[in-house]
Amino acid sequence: MTARRQRMDLYWGSVVTPMGGALLVGSRQGIQRLWFEDTAQGVTLAGCQRADGRAQAVFASLMSEPATTVEQFDVQGTAFQRQVWQALLEIPLGMTTTYQVIADAIDRPKAVRAVANAIGANPIAYFIPCHRVVRSDGGLGGYRWGVERKRAILDWERDRVSRAA
């Protein structure tokens, strides 16, 4: 399949999340990217077909039944990045963990910095839950979409879990 053909198979749409508006880009294989609208400056969607309804349906489906494997997404990454992203998907809703715990989980205990870089390369806000990783001292650490948003997502998830209990 040519790059032009692959690009034409992509769709995008606006979705409303508990943390504000977002742009979702996907293909037949799954979501490729999710940006919060206020951080999407410079995003190029040329060649992607607008499909708000499709994007909203995919978003709603993942909100009700979260992904459990990286293969459910159409994300590009190295084998190491995909391994880290898979470990993120295993962090329970409403819980946090540290970069070191993720490094240990993938049997790379000395690769904490590389794990942090892989987490930072996550192209899908919220659904690959990089926001659930915090510093070893309990601090929130960085977040591609802003530390305040990270705090808001974690608070929202904890509230969701406590209401379900």
Residue positions annotated with a catalytic role = 130
**33-59 per-residue burial string, b: 16 or more CB within 10 A, e: under 16:** bbbbeebeeeeeeeebeebeeebeebb
| Backbone angles phi and psi of 97, in degrees to 5 | -145, 180
Say how far apart CA 120 and CA 63 lie, in whole Å. 22
Q: In which element (H, E) is residue 48 found?
A: none
Say how far apart CA 164 and CA 162 lie, in whole Å. 5
Token look-up 């909100």 returns 63
